[in-house]
Amino acid sequence: MLHRHIGPYNTTAVGLGEMPLTIENNLGEDKGVETIHAALDAGCRHLDTAWAYYCSGGEEQTGEKLVRRALDGWKGPREEVLVATKVGHYRNFTDGRPTWDVDGRPESLIRHAKESALALGVDAIDLLYFHRPDPKVPYAESVEAIRELVDEGVAKTAGVSNASVEQIDIAHDILGDRLVAVQNQFSPIWKQTRDTLQHAGRMGLAFVCWSPLGGYRKPKKESLFDPFREVAARHGVSYQQVVLAWELAQGDHVFVIPGAHRPATILDSLKAGDLRLSPEELSALG
């Protein structure tokens, strides 16, 4: 299975995005544990979760707690698994609908990161991301809180998520070599962040694609996946594998964290690290 470096960690380029296992329409805790175990047993060594991965109105941090339960019950080498989490987001209801909101106040980030460490059952979080900029709080102030958390040993390394090129530079100025990753949305239907993908590469930072298959909570422009389906038919694989392989081919610093509701889905996605696309195929896919 393809491995790459995120800061000091050598981990799988295809990770598991935990979010679908604990937000709305999940299939239950036992199925979540089964899915994580299936990924780990297949060789995945990169799990991504967040403080905010829980159902609106439900128990907070269920995503982090699920990851802990799965790892506690797994018989494999726990020390090989990179667990990343994020702070700065939370769930609420707006007009009776489950929604997301942000809280980038330093005191909130510090409190929630310490809660994350407790939920994960670790002395120090492997990789802690600032989840999303808060327009009410100067970006530098939020990132300084992340630096304080690394300085105090609450987290070993830091990352930023949903960040612009300018914000990546601000974070790097504050965090220095403690900043190891940028996690932004990137997929065939969301290429607006290609500038941040390239900027991360120039800076020696990992770029982690969230919703690499386009996500499932909003309607997708399915026609944009037609070229990937054509390539998949030639290779005899799923088009999702082709999408992930195309993203990984954007640079040696690129990672993908597809979500899954059940074991079969993530087991298919994990094969993308072994799929090699020709230069002609990559050019046709854009």
CATH at residue 130: 3.20.20.100
pTM tops 0.85 = yes
Compute and round to an integer the Cα radius of gyration of the chain: 18
- The predicted pLDDT at position 217 comes to 59
Enclosing domain of residue 39: 3-285
53 has catalytic annotation? yes
| 211 pLDDT higher than 90 | yes
Share of residues in the chain with pLDDT > 70 (%): 98
pLDDT tens across 39-52, in order? 999 999 999 999 99
What is the pLDDT confidence band of residue 95, given thresholds at 50, 70 and 90? confident
| 214 pLDDT higher than 80 | yes
Number of C-alpha atoms within 13 angstroms, CB side, residue 263? 12
Top pLDDT among 89 and 219 is at 89
- The predicted pLDDT at position 221 comes to 82
- The predicted pLDDT at position 93 comes to 82
| 220 pLDDT higher than 80 | no
Active-site annotation holder among 9, 53, 54, 239: 53
Q: How far apart are CA 197 and CA 164, in angstroms?
A: 10
Q: What is the mean pLDDT of the chain?
A: 96
- Domains identified in the chain, total number: 1
Helix, strand, coil percent values for the chain (each to nearest 5): 45, 20, 35
- The predicted pLDDT at position 97 comes to 87
CA distances from 212 to 102, 118, 203, 275 (A): 22, 29, 22, 16
| 218 pLDDT higher than 90 | no
pLDDT tens across 97-128, in order? 899 999 999 999 999 999 999 999 999 999 99
| 216 pLDDT higher than 80 | no
DSSP output for 140-192: HHHHHHHHHHHHTTSEEEEEEES--HHHHHHHHHHHGGGEEEEEEE-BTTB-T
